[in-house]
Structure formats: structure tokens, C-alpha cells
């Protein structure tokens, strides 16, 4: 029996796997693994949370970049397609957001680091349109940056968010359950309409 349910978690995990596996090679290829002092080299984040938590931000404060991957769910319309065997297939597009928190020696260095992280994430995400086989396509949507506190304050914490539309094909294939599930009978309902006239 083959059953298939694709969730936002599957797509987030696929994105994490691709980023963990390929960010390091891109960092080395670009020479970002060697930085002049006092700046530290770029390293692949060891922590990837689906919901950024206080510990993730504390880790970034401790001079280690931290990643977060989340999804707000399906965007747009779910598409129903008919397979060659007559069964139906549901395809959907999910919004997957990748965030990286980091800090540099000052405001400007932090700004540069988070923008560089956004470019790295964008490059790796677009280079892997199947996310290891769980997706049917990846499209870059947008990226944004934020720093706390504002300019003039030393040791600023910064972050970037890179948004992708991730296509998932056949998100709910339950065809093999036909006959295995009990039949649900509709209850008989009556509707009475009364017209109140004075």
C-alpha cells in the first residue's frame, strides 16, 4: 500500500537538508570561510529551528549564525489533476521562509553578513528545485533584512528572511485506501422554513 501526505514540515526539512549539505561548499568556493580579523569566517549554522526560539537568538549573540526554517502554509489555489489511471492528484504551492540570525563586530559588518547569508540561501535554494525529492519546484519570492538595535549601537544582532514558493505534487495520495476506510453515511436532515407574517 502506497500512501502519500506532503506537509509543510516535509518541505521545511527538505530545505534544511539541502542547506546543511550545500551551504558549506558555497561558503568555501566564495572564500567566505577565511576572513581577516576581527571578523569571523562564515560557517554553516548548526542550529536550524522551525520556530526561532530564544536559544537560537542567544546562540547568534554568542557569535554563531543560527538558522530558522518555517512555512505559513499553502499559498494560492490547490490544483486538482487527473492521473493516467483516472485517480486525482492534488498539487499545491507552499511558502517556505528561511531565516539566518548573525552578528558582526559593528552595525555595518552585521548588515553585510546578513545580506551575504540571504544571497547564499537564495543561491542554494534555487540550485536545488526538488529539495532532495520532496518538491516539484522552488521559486525565489523575496528577501528582507532586520537589525536590532539600530545604527550606532555596537554588536548589533541582524537577521535575514528569504522566501521561496515551493511546489509540492500529489500532496494527498490516499488512493490505496479505497475500500479500507468505512463508508460514512450522511445523516438525514430536514429543513423547515417558517414564514412569519403579521
At residue 1, the pLDDT reads 44
The answer to whether the CB of 128 falls within 8 A of the CB of 137 is no
At residue 12, the pLDDT reads 92
The answer to whether the CB of 47 falls within 8 A of the CB of 59 is yes
Q: What is the mean pLDDT of the chain?
A: 82
At residue 84, the pLDDT reads 78
How many C-beta atoms surround the C-beta of residue 167 within 10 A? 18
At residue 179, the pLDDT reads 58
The whole domain housing 114 covers 4-177
User: What is the total count of domains within the chain?
Assistant: 1
Does the pLDDT at position 11 exceed 70?
Answer: yes
At residue 75, the pLDDT reads 94
Amino acid at each position: 500500500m502506497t500512501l502519500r501526505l506532503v506537509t509543510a514540515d516535509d518541505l521545511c526539512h527538505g530545505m534544511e537538508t539541502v542547506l546543511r549539505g550545500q551551504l558549506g561548499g558555497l561558503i568555501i568556493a566564495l572564500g567566505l570561510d577565511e576572513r581577516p580579523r576581527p571578523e569571523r569566517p562564515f560557517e554553516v549554522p548548526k542550529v536550524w529551528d522551525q520556530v526561532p526560539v530564544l536559544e537560537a537568538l542567544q546562540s547568534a549573540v554568542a557569535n554563531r549564525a543560527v538558522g530558522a526554517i518555517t512555512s505559513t502554509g499553502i499559498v494560492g489555489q490547490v490544483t486538482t489533476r487527473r492521473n493516467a489511471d483516472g485517480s486525482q492528484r492534488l498539487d499545491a504551492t507552499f511558502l517556505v521562509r528561511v531565516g539566518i540570525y548573525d552578528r558582526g563586530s559593528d552595525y555595518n559588518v552585521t548588515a553585510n553578513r546578513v545580506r551575504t547569508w540571504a544571497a547564499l540561501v537564495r543561491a542554494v535554494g534555487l540550485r536545488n528545485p526538488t529539495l532532495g525529492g520532496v518538491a516539484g519546484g522552488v521559486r525565489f519570492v523575496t528577501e528582507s533584512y532586520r537589525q536590532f538595535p539600530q545604527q550606532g549601537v555596537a554588536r548589533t544582532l541582524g537577521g535575514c528572511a528569504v522566501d521561496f514558493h515551493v511546489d509540492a505534487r500529489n500532496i494527498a495520495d490516499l488512493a490505496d485506501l479505497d475500500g479500507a476506510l468505512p463508508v460514512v453515511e450522511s445523516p438525514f436532515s430536514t429543513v423547515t422554513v417558517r414564514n412569519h407574517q403579521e
